[in-house]
Amino acid sequence: MTAIPFYAQIINLLAALLLLLSFAMLAQRRVLSLVNLFAMQGLSLALSTAIVAYGTAQPHLYWSAGLTFVLKVFLLPWLLHRLIRQLDVRWDVEGLINIPTTMLIGIVLVVFSFNLAVPISELASTVTRSTLGIAMACVMLSFLMMITRRKAIPQVIGFLSMENGLFFAATSATYGMPLVVELGIALDVLVGMLILGVFFFQIREQFDSLDLKHLEKLKEGE
Amino acid sequence: MNVGGFISQLLQVLIALALAPLLVGWVNQCRAWLQNKSAPSLLLPYRTIHKLFIKDAVVADTASPIFRIAPYIVFGAMCCAAAIVPSLATDLPFASAADAIALVGLFALARVFVALAAMDTGTAFGSLGARREMFIGFLAEPALLMVLFTASLISGSTSLPTIVDTLAHREFAIYPSLAFAGVAFTMVSLAENARVPVDNPATHLELTMIHEAMILEYSARHLALIEWASAMKLFNYSCIGLALFFPFGIASGGDWLGVVGAAPTLVAKLAIGGFALALIETLSAKMRIFRAPEFLGTAFLLAVLGMLVNLLLGS
């Protein structure tokens, strides 16, 4: 085994942490803890980006790390907390489909994305290329979370954490996207979050709950 | 075949036999201390075993020979396990006879015989305990195997002394996979040793007990052997954990004098580990039995993730 630099080891550790947090979010039943887990995921993402910036001397990555930190550790969780408080769904516990089964599907997804990432990461020349598989696994797991959840807020958190995974994929495969693109995405996510917040109120006004199965019906009175 | 190897082998089994009840006593004392109770004596497990050995054994009329031989098999399996796990030295002649997978098999053998003996007398509690034990066991075993496989992948061998040698003498590197495996291993050992989140070793409440329900029918020397064997099981699990995740201080190669230096290190590590166990037990509440699949499923998930991360990152 070739020795990899120390900072790359820390990045690997943070990548593993990111994967673990994705699984924790998949298994979490309580909405409030879900938001906190999302904030922790953002924190590890910002840390790993900062370490990539330090290790590869890419100053523009410091900006994205800072942006991630402010946006995903403070602003978005704060917005979500406020939404949860206003909608009064703080103690919402979701009746998920069997958690161990979801976890097993999650493992299959991880194996799938690891296999998928191996040929791609062989082409990349970055020191962090091996974490690409983890980034893809995070995206897949967030997908799974959006599919298995029924309530609106966990679905939105799944969407946001998918963006985390994509961001991590960009960092690990190509040392990040150009700053303009990153700013654009950050703004998109923020605005999307605000709009979805308005949606939540509309949904609840219409159906008296945030359960999205009410949206499956096309006509009224069936 | 060398003399030093045999000496360290013998010393290791003797230390496991002698220190196992002390470890249980220490954990109980820490637990009492953490819960603001007055602690039982550190030597209480020795006195219990001694008391049980001088009593007359009572065996149920309906019991078959399995009931009589089970304690000896369980005790023997735990002694074998103590000989395989490199707690003091890695130069163990006996360890080449069995690798990590066989070690899991030894634990399974002991479990099967305790469960058989529990069902043998035909009491309701016995079969209830046996069923629960097998239920926990079949969930815990794959997770334990995955933890050992993660360590084997890093060192390229399933032989425990080789694994420990590789882990102890590598250059410093962060292994995320070992962190996953460590957490999974802690969860598995809690379940396997009938500790708090899964089973409560201090209770005889019908609805919750697992391990105690199985050994209700035993008395005197049989019970003493079983108690001693479960103390050795805890000791063995602690030693596996320490050897895999904190491997420093273990004598390596033909350096059998190093065993003398390794013994105090082991005692110190076990003391810290026992305190950590008491802390975990104090901080967590016992789960409903039907939450156990979720608990052990998480352990399995962590172990598999550790293995996958190891394959992907190569660390």
Q: Chain B residue closest to A21 (CA)? A: B302
Measure in Å the smallest separation between the Cα of A3 and chain B Cα atoms. Answer: 9
Measure in Å the smallest separation between the Cα of A39 and chain B Cα atoms. Answer: 21
Which of residues A93 and A6 earns the better pLDDT score?
A: A6
Q: Which of A17, A107, A134 sits opposite B312 (nearest CB)?
A: A134
A218 found inside a domain: no
Given a cut of 70, is residue A220 above it in pLDDT? Answer: no
Distance CA A207, CA A210 (A): 8
pLDDT of residue B72: 92
pLDDT band at B291 (very low <50, low <70, confident <90, very high): confident
| Main-chain phi, psi angles of B249, to 5 degrees | 85, 0
> A 163-192 residues with CB below 8 A of B?
none
| Contact state of A12 with B308 under an 8 Å Cβ cutoff | no
Helix A76-87 crosses helix A179-207 at what angle (to 10 degrees)?
Answer: 0
Q: Which of A15, A27, A107 sits opposite B304 (nearest CB)?
A: A107
First to last CA, chain A: 64
A221 found inside a domain: no
Query: Hey, what are B157's tokens?
Result: 């061998």
Task: Please tell me the total count of domains within chain A.
Answer: 1
Strands (E) located in chain A:
none
Given a cut of 50, is residue B228 above it in pLDDT? Answer: yes
Task: Tell me what percent of the residues of chain B surpass a pLDDT of 90.
Answer: 3
Q: Chain A residue closest to B174 (CA)? A: A9
Q: Which residues form the domain of A84? A: 6-210
Rounded average pLDDT over B221-237: 89
If you average pLDDT over every residue of chain B, what do you get?
A: 83
B262-274 per-position pLDDT tens digit: 778 888 888 888 8
Q: Does A19 reach chain B within 8 Å, measured CB to CB?
A: yes
| Closest C-alpha to B246, from B186, B313, B310, B201 | B186
Q: Which residues of B touch A106 (CB under 8 A)?
A: 301
B74-112 per-position pLDDT tens digit: 999 998 888 888 877 777 777 777 788 888 888 999 999
Which of residues B246 and A210 earns the better pLDDT score?
A: B246
A216 found inside a domain: no
Rounded average pLDDT over B219-238: 89
A82-95 per-position pLDDT tens digit: 888 887 776 666 66
Task: Please tell me the total count of domains within chain B.
Answer: 1
Residue B54 CB partners (closer than 8 Å, separation 6+): none
DSSP category for residue B207: T
Rounded average pLDDT over B176-192: 87
Distance CA A193, CA A87 (A): 15
Q: Which residues of A touch B315 (CB under 8 A)?
A: 1, 4, 9, 12
- Specify the pTM: 0.82
A78 found inside a domain: yes
A29 found inside a domain: yes
Distance CA B263, CA B88 (A): 6
Measure in Å the smallest separation between the Cα of B15 and chain A Cα atoms. Answer: 37
Distance CA A15, CA A1 (A): 20
Q: Does A97 reach chain B within 8 Å, measured CB to CB?
A: no
Query: Hey, what are B32's tokens?
Result: 């009492």
B124-160 per-position pLDDT tens digit: 888 888 888 888 888 889 999 998 888 888 888 888 8
Least-confidence region, from A34-38, A106-110, A218-222, B188-192: A218-222
Distance CA A189, CA A153 (A): 15
pLDDT of residue A96: 62
Q: Does A108 reach chain B within 8 Å, measured CB to CB?
A: no
Q: Chain B residue closest to A6 (CA)? A: B173
pLDDT band at B172 (very low <50, low <70, confident <90, very high): low
Task: Tell me what percent of the residues of chain B surpass a pLDDT of 70.
Answer: 93
Q: Chain B residue closest to A10 (CA)? A: B174
First to last CA, chain B: 34
B251 DSSP β-pair partners = B89
Q: Does A103 reach chain B within 8 Å, measured CB to CB?
A: yes
Q: Which residues form the domain of B263? A: 3-313
| Contact of B209 with B130, CB cutoff 8 Å | no
B13-27 per-position pLDDT tens digit: 888 888 888 888 898
Rounded-to-10 torsion of CA A142, A144, A145, A149: 150
Measure in Å the smallest separation between the Cα of A128 and chain B Cα atoms. Answer: 10
Task: Tell me what percent of the residues of chain A surpass a pLDDT of 70.
Answer: 89
Given a cut of 80, is residue A163 above it in pLDDT? Answer: yes
pLDDT of residue A95: 61
Using CB atoms within 10 A of its CB, is residue B281 exposed (0-12), middle (13-18) or buried (19+)? buried
Given a cut of 80, is residue A152 above it in pLDDT? Answer: no
pLDDT of residue A92: 64
Distance CA B172, CA A56 (A): 22
Q: Which residues of A touch B293 (CB under 8 A)?
A: 100
Measure in Å the smallest separation between the Cα of B226 and chain A Cα atoms. Answer: 34
pLDDT of residue A1: 42
Q: Does A99 reach chain B within 8 Å, measured CB to CB?
A: yes
